[in-house]
Structure 1
Amino acid sequence: MHLQQLKRTLTYFKHTLNFGLPLKRPCHLCLQAYSDADWGGNLDDRTSTSTYVIFLGGNPVSWMSKRQCTVARSSTEAEYRSVANTTAEVMWLSNLLQELGISRSVPHLYCDNIEATYLCSNPVFHSRMKHIALDYHFVRQLVQQGQLLISHISTKDQLADGLTKPLGRCRFTQLRDKLGVAYGNPILRGRNR
């Protein structure tokens, strides 16, 4: 099964060598992040995959797809861990922009799990969620201080969805286009000899 997936990936790379991320002139310098996770998607050890895509002024500037270290006991826990990882990256980028003297608005993070979105802003700690490590609760503190906005987004609008699991060709192409990946001029890659 892994060999088949590798062959599919290499075939995709072969046919998309001239694709890239063209940068557009931004009309604003807002940070927008899309956070997603699958729940127990790794069939070998049932860990989840956290993903995010962060945009600055409409251009993707940071993205990640990484397996979580521990098994999540619920989809909410998997999503909340992903939100915490995304928040850490968003705050790092936000501080970098501030150090560069670039004025910015409050970053906006989108998550497609309603329960994880509620956990980020609800100051009441639920006993069912005590098994989540305390270091993930810094998200809630940033939301309460007004340094981060978190909103629910429909799964069909979730741009990080393509980084969590295999998708059908139509859905994958749609997400790839929304991320801004496009056919580019091969002259920019240099000459192949």
Structure 2
Amino acid sequence: MASSPKLTLKSGSPLPDGTDYRRLVGSLQYLAFTRLDISYAVNRLFKFMHRPTEAHCQAAKRVLRYLAGTTTHDIFFAAKNNLNLHAYSDADWAGESDDYVSTNAYIVYMGTHPVSWSAKKQKTVARSSTEAEYRAVANTSAELRWICNLLSELGVHKQVVPIVYCDNVGATFLCANLVFHSRMKHIALDYDFARGQIQQGQLRVCHVNTKDQLADALTKPLSRTQFLHLRNKIGVSPGPPS
């Protein structure tokens, strides 16, 4: 997806019939189950289903052109891989110019393989980047807890405490600091959920440089160079010849 200009509800002129657009985006949703590199673009296009425009249609066709040029790309799962879990959590604070709601995303890895990912809008407007990033960490920790419970039921016992990598210093410190800041009282539910897991030794939250934040590809449009760099990092690459 082009990094500029940003798509909005008012971009372009409305389509006389949005049926084809809705069918296309609906089909792309199924593909996003196995191609996490298009998760953000599909999530973005889905927001315009009720009133698609020419600009939205061109953006959807851009995704098709990208897919047509990467038909051999997939996620490769090696036979030899450790079962340790770690995740990258990110949020694009007030990235929506229509309603200023933040977009949060996460990618959960088992060893070197991505096994779960998500890119979606938060439910409320965040009053600071720390709040937006902390809510993203809470969503990521909930997904990790579910995966851990699933592995436990399958008889797989992890050896290392799962780690969440966050590129926001404030959110990282908030996870480690037992003193609850007065400006964060309105997110007490998310705070208690994540803090409880950290205190019980079930989770670790570590800071990661923004340049190494892999979930960045699922929160905002990026330049071609940056997107291709992150695409290879997150695990989507040309598959071996059949």
Q: If the length of structure 2 is used for normalisation, what is the TM-score?
A: 0.73
- Structure 2 residue corresponding to 1:82, chosen from 131, 136, 141: 136
What does residue 202 of structure 2 align with? 147
Any idea what SS the aligned residue of 2:216 has?
Answer: helix
Partner letter of residue 111 of structure 1?
C
Offset of residue 185 of structure 1: 5.5
1:26 to 1:81, Cα distance in 2 relative to 1, 3 A: farther
- What does 1:73-152 correspond to in 2, within 5 Å? 73-104=127-158, 105-152=160-207
| Secondary structure of 1:132 counterpart | helix
Q: Amino acid of the residue matched to residue 94 of structure 1?
A: C
1:13 and 2:67 equivalent?
A: yes
C-alpha change, 1:161 and 1:7, in structure 2 (3 Å) is same
Return 14-23 or 43-52, whichever deviates more: 14-23
Q: Which whole-Å CA distance do the structure 1 matches of 2:101 and 2:241 have between them?
A: 39
For 1:176, the equivalent position in structure 2 comes to: 231
Alpha-carbon separation, structure 1, partners of 2:191 and 2:241 = 43
1:38 aligns with 2:96: no
Q: Could you tell me the TM-score, scaled by structure 1's length?
A: 0.91
SS of 2:124's equivalent in the other structure is coil
Amino acid at match of 1:141: G
Q: CA RMSD in A?
A: 1.5
Q: Does structure 1 residue 167 correspond to structure 2 residue 225?
A: no
Q: Give the direction of change, closer, same or farther, for the CA distance of 1:97–1:21 in structure 2 (3 Å limit).
A: same
- Residues of 2 paired with 1:114 and 1:135: CA distance? 17
SS at match of 2:198: helix
Render the CA deviation track for 1:125-150: whole Å, top value 9, x for unaligned. Answer: 11111122424421011111111011
Distance in 1 between residues matched to 2:168 and 2:190, nearest whole Å? 20
Output the CA distance in 1 between the equivalents of 2:85 and 2:187: 27
Q: Percent identity?
A: 57
Partner of residue 118, structure 2: 64
* Matched residue count: 187
CA contact (8 A) 1:159 1:179 kept: yes
Seen in structure 2, the aligned counterparts of structure 1 residues 127 and 52 have a Cα distance that, compared at 3 Å, is: same
Q: Structure 2, unaligned stretches of length 5 or more? A: 1-10, 12-54
Range 136-145 or range 83-92, more displaced: 136-145
Shift of 1:83: 0.4
**AA of the residue aligned to 1:115:** G
**What stretches of structure 1 of length at least 5 have no aligned partner?**
188-193
Task: Indicate whether 1:25 and 2:79 are aligned.
Answer: yes
Residues 22-73 of structure 1 deviation map (CA, whole Å, 9 limit, x = unaligned) = 1123442100100000001111111010100000021100000001111100
Alpha carbons 2:86, 2:110 under 8 Å: kept: yes
CA contact (8 A) 1:26 1:58 kept: no
Contact 2:135 2:190 in 1 (8 A): no
